[in-house]
Structure 1
Amino acid sequence: MTHDEFFLPDGDIRWKCLELRENSARLHYGRFLLAPLLEGQADLIGIATRKTLLQELEGTCITCAKFLDVPHQYFTIDGVEESINDIVMNLKKVVFRSNQLSANVPRFLTGYFRAWGPGPATARSIGVNPAHVEVINKNEHIATLKQPMQLFFELEIERNRAYGTKTTYPFREGCYPIDASFSPVLNVNHSIHNYYSLRNERKEMLFLEIWTNGSFTPVEALGMASQKLVKLFGFPLRIDEDKEEEAEYGHKVTLKDLTLEDRWEILRRRQKKTKLAVESIYIDQLQLSSKVYDCLNKAEISTLSQLLNKGYKDLMNMKMDYFDAKEIILAVEKYFKIFDSDFF
């Protein structure tokens, strides 16, 4: 049985870095200790810090690659060993570093990839205009050029939050979107341990483990998360604000208590308004339960277009209950990602 010994402060609460490790260019690890804390505080701070690290920090990723004269993603360019799909998958591994605390860094950037053969082409061949970001893993393999040639394509780069980001890209010939993961923090663990101070008072210590993708070190990630938490809770509380001042600096928002039937009709109207290509989307892509899937099959509904042509009462007449209809509506909402304000 092993025992770890730590020197803990007796006065103010403060962070202490216990371990920093760089396993690779795309994997950094840090272990931190926060003490002394009163009973219950460690859990409160640990949950808030973990959620902030995973959801609030911004990352920079390639979101689209634009090729010339490429008919489909499985096409192979003459002289290049990898297919377009393989190149796109390799671009997803590229990690960028940017100063997200600076207001001068734009959210959308343009870049390019230019490499000469023969030989392997790495992320070192990526250029960004303007040069607000830098590539961390420059040795990341992108493609292999088998003959003297130049491989060139354009890149779209975006800086965004990890939580709730799902950008939809319209179809453009030669453009291949990349399902980017914006979170610079890969994982966070926290644990709580009790101890007794010199005054025989029961205290808590919080251990926090952070894994990042290399765009930020764990120390930087923890520092930025702390700043964001302070900023979020630092807004002033106004109790006696008059209505004229409210109208001057804000706007009125009406909250609607929508029923399942209302939400289904909004989905149907939105589909007609945006003219989504739902004819080619099959219901098995919605990942429904076997019971709901069987009910839709018995009703001879195989595509999302056929499903959206049915009214809410038609759904209930398919031997479905309230929870089955709710499952369908949630699945369609999730598929089209319409959780934003314009949906309501």
Structure 2
Amino acid sequence: MIETGFQKPKYLECDYESLTETYGRFSAQPFERGYGVTVGNALRRVLLSSIPGAAVTNVRIQGVLHEFSSLPGVVEDVTDIILNIKSIPLKMEGQKPMRMYLKKSGPGEAKAADIEHDSDITILDHDIHIASLDKDGQLDIEMVVRKNRGYVTADRNHDPELSIDFVPLDSSHSPVIKVNYLVSQARVGKRMDYEKLELEIWTNGAITPTEALGQAAKLLRDHLIIFLNIVDEPIRKEAVQEKKEIPYFSQIDILSKPIDHLELSVRSNNC
């Protein structure tokens, strides 16, 4: 007997023993053959590219006009300092740009824990190394934090409202660090040709894996819902107007009209 009904996932399982704020393992079954890969790949791409997050987009370092400079008394050059700043995982409430500040004198190590920020910003890893300073070293850094999604180039982060000594940075806003999916066989009754989808999600702590998966599924749904509104009607062709014969004298009147009366565009008049 030929079965025409589609098997669809009946439940979503979560491995609560391994679930943390930054890692989660989920599974769903059964899928028709091929649908596990289709759904798994779509979710993975959305998770990695489209979940919004916060990142440093512009930075001003006192005494530095470009990122290829160096600072006296600081071991790292400006390029390394900027790379360390970009690696700081952040969580931000609201949508408006915000500022963070780092002022440090040597000798010693400047870490993410030394950064001053508003209560709407959370630094998720205070141990991130920023720079090493000797006894004469000083750091005075101002950072702009914005919320966005995916990878944003420095050109797009350029803000003409900021002073010229602010350097725009490439920024990665995705709070999802890594996603793996695995498709294996699933059994329904006596049939073994169905599929089970397993997802592993790692985040930086700005969002939980459960929240990230829910947001990704909602984004996919919102993009597909428009296709549900297709009306099952044949495509309507534009009505073809019947050609009407124009009387001879009317043709003469039309052809004899002055150009000024034809309401042509300026470009046509100049031809």
TM surpasses 0.5: yes
Contact 1:18–1:33, Cα closer than 8 Å, also in 2: no
CA radius of gyration, larger in: 2
Q: Secondary structure at the match of 1:153?
A: strand
Larger helix percent: 1
Residues 11 and 159 of structure 1: is their aligned pair in 2 closer, same or farther, counting only changes over 3 Å? closer
**Alpha-carbon distance in structure 1 between the residues aligned to 2:23 and 2:185:** 24
**Alpha-carbon distance in structure 2 between the residues aligned to 1:95 and 1:128:** 14
Alignment of 1:26-37 (within 5 A): 28-37=22-31
Corresponding residue for residue 10 of structure 2: 12
Q: Secondary structure at the match of 1:32?
A: strand
The alpha carbon displacement at 1:228 in A equals 2.5
Corresponding residue for residue 107 of structure 2: 118
**Alpha-carbon distance in structure 1 between the residues aligned to 2:225 and 2:121:** 30
Matched, 1:191 2:182: yes
**Alpha-carbon distance in structure 2 between the residues aligned to 1:198 and 1:239:** 37
Q: Which runs of 5+ in 1 are unaligned?
A: 1-9, 100-104, 241-344
TM-score, L = length of structure 2 = 0.68
Matched, 1:213 2:201: no
| 1:242-265 CA-partner distances (Å, limit 9, x unpaired) | xxxxxxxxxxxxxxxxxxxxxxxx
Corresponding residue for residue 40 of structure 2: 46
**Alpha-carbon distance in structure 2 between the residues aligned to 1:19 and 1:37:** 25
One of 224, 231, 237 as aligned partner of 2:229: 237
Matched, 1:86 2:80: yes
| Paired AA for residue 38 in structure 2 | L
**Alpha-carbon distance in structure 1 between the residues aligned to 2:151 and 2:129:** 28
| Paired AA for residue 217 in structure 2 | S
| 1:88-125 CA-partner distances (Å, limit 9, x unpaired) | 111111110235xxxxx124222222234331110112
Matched, 1:139 2:133: no
Aligned length: 221
Residues 36 and 107 of structure 1: is their aligned pair in 2 closer, same or farther, counting only changes over 3 Å? farther
**Alpha-carbon distance in structure 2 between the residues aligned to 1:148 and 1:76:** 14
Over aligned residues, Cα RMSD in angstroms? 3.3
Larger strand percent: 2
| Paired AA for residue 221 in structure 1 | A
Alignment of 1:157-306 (within 5 A): 157-162=145-150, 167-169=156-158, 173-198=164-189, 200=191, 202-234=193-225, 237=229
Q: Which runs of 5+ in 2 are unaligned?
A: 1-7, 233-271
Contact 1:37–1:204, Cα closer than 8 Å, also in 2: yes
Q: Secondary structure at the match of 1:91?
A: helix
The alpha carbon displacement at 1:174 in A equals 2.6
Contact 1:189–1:208, Cα closer than 8 Å, also in 2: yes
Residues 216 and 119 of structure 1: is their aligned pair in 2 closer, same or farther, counting only changes over 3 Å? same
The alpha carbon displacement at 1:168 in A equals 4.9
One of 51, 55, 58 as aligned partner of 1:57: 51
Q: Secondary structure at the match of 1:20?
A: coil
Q: Secondary structure at the match of 2:104?
A: strand
